[in-house]
Amino acid sequence: MPSAKEVGERLKAVRKEREMTLKQVAEGASMSPTHISEIERGKTSPTVGALRRIAAALDKDTAYFVEDRPLPKISVVKKEDREAVLLPGVGETFITAKALTQGIPAGRISVVLIEQDEGGSMKLEKHPGEEALLMISGEAKAKVGDDEFVVRNGDCLQYSARLERSITFTGKGKNKAMWVKVVPGAIKW
C-alpha cells in the first residue's frame, strides 16, 4: 500500500495530466479545494469514500491510486524479460510459467505462458472472475465443476473461476499453453 505522500503525488499527477484545477476536482468530488490540496501534499490521507469521489472526478479507477507500485499505462513485456511465476500444482507441487503481462493501473488481466511436461497438474483456487486456457501445443484434461474437457492444439477453454477446476497436461513431451485470468471490476478503456 502506498504512503499518503505517494497517493497524493499520484492524484496530483493525474490532475495535472487532465489539466484540471484543484477547484474543478474539489467540485467533482464534493470536497473543498483545501482538502484536495492537503491530500495531494501528503498532509492527510483520504478516506476510501473520499478517494473514490476524487477518482471519479478525475475519471480514473480508484485502484490506480492504491496499487503497491506505480504501473505503466501501457505494458510491454519483451520475450527476454518474462518473469517466472509459480502456479499452484496438486499437493505441494508447482507449475512454472512465464508472465506475459506485468500489469497496468487497475488492471484486471493476468496472462502466463505454461510449458509443462506430461503429468503436471494445476488445482486452482476459486475466485470471482473467469479464466481461459489456450493450448498452443500438446494436450490437457480440464475438470471444471462436474464437467471434463480435453483441450488440444489450438483449442481454447473459457470458464467461470467460481467453479472447482483442475488442469492436467497429458500430451507427450512439453505441453505449451497460455492461461488467462480475469478478475471482476470495471475496466476503463
Structural domain contains residue 14: yes
In this structure, the answer to whether residues 173 and 95 fall within a common structural domain is yes
Domain boundary among 15, 38, 65: 65
How many domains are there within the chain?
A: 2
In this structure, the answer to whether residues 84 and 162 fall within a common structural domain is yes
The yes-or-no verdict on residue 152 having pLDDT over 70 is yes
Per-residue model confidence (pLDDT) at position 70 = 67
Range 150-174 average pLDDT: 95
Query: pLDDT class for 185, splitting at 50, 70, 90?
Result: low
Residue with grid cell 506505480, as numbered in its chain: 70
The more confident residue out of 180 and 103 is: 180
In this structure, the answer to whether residues 60 and 97 fall within a common structural domain is no
Look up the domain containing 9 and give its range.
4-65
Residue 157: C-alpha distances to residues 5, 39, 59, 146, 153 (Å): 44, 45, 34, 15, 12
Query: pLDDT per residue over 31-68, tens digit each?
Result: 999 999 999 999 998 988 899 899 999 988 787 788 77
Torsion of CA 142, 165, 95, 97, to 10 degrees: 80
- Can you give the pTM of this predicted structure? 0.66
Q: What CATH code is carried by the domain that includes residue 60? A: 1.10.260.40
In this structure, the answer to whether residues 98 and 144 fall within a common structural domain is yes
Structural domain contains residue 72: no
Structural domain contains residue 70: no
Query: pLDDT class for 90, splitting at 50, 70, 90?
Result: confident
Residue at 15: amino acid letter = R
Mean pLDDT, the chain, as a whole number?
A: 89
In this structure, the answer to whether residues 51 and 21 fall within a common structural domain is yes
Residue at 19: amino acid letter = E
Task: Name the nearest CA neighbour of 38 among 4, 69, 2.
Answer: 4
The yes-or-no verdict on residue 161 having pLDDT over 80 is yes
